[in-house]
Structure 1
Amino acid sequence: MELMVVTLIIGFLFSLLFIAPRFSKSDQTEKVHSDANTKTVRAYNKAEVLLHNKRTDCWIIIKEKVYDVTSYVEEHPGGDAILVHAGDDSTEGFFGPQHATRVFDMIEDFYIGDLEK
């Protein structure tokens, strides 16, 4: 299981280097707050994120931030491994030592909001 998770994360991050990410925001009623830059940010609770757990609607959580990676699922070099944590927290695998630092900036292209505390 750990090998599969590591493979998923490595593939996800590797492919982010080569693909221009696209994302869409949910049409749900928004709960918003402002961050330090006064940018309006949507807040999601864990139950909302969990609903987005399939190939055609895939969100992940990394360090209490929510990312819609739906547009990336079919392009993921690790295949369906990206779906292992669909709708759930992917923090542990994402921050493994095997990742190039520029990938951490690229994930922000999929950012859609924060996890409610």
Structure 2
Amino acid sequence: MVEKDDTTQRKLVHFVTQQTRFALINNILQHPDQLPSMYELEELNPSVSDATVYKHIQKLIDAGIVTEVALDDDHRRQGYPWKFYGLTDEGREFLAEHNLLAAEETLQQ
């Protein structure tokens, strides 16, 4: 992971712990494969609009915390999701460094 100064680190911690973004990160950690689809993320956050879920996932992608994983064309099936969202290695490392993964095992259960 690229070294960041303390101010940048604090800003990123504040960024990922914003309520909706942190809920989405926890949704990813709770998923059996840690790769939920957008539909699953939207269903897990009924108090937030679908557009807001999408916007926050995009912000997490832009920050390097989350990545989008798409199925190859030959594995896609009509009517089924083909894009999924998971933590990047750098994102997982950052969250671990700041004790934001402490509940991961509990969330998976």
Alignment TM-score, normalising by the size of structure 2? 0.31
Q: Counting helix residues as a fraction of each chain, which structure ranks higher?
A: 2
Asked which structure has the greater RCO (Cα within 8 Å, sep 6+), the reply is 1
Alignment TM-score, normalising by the size of structure 1? 0.30
For the pair shown, the structure with the greater C-alpha radius of gyration is: 2
Q: Counting strand residues as a fraction of each chain, which structure ranks higher?
A: 1
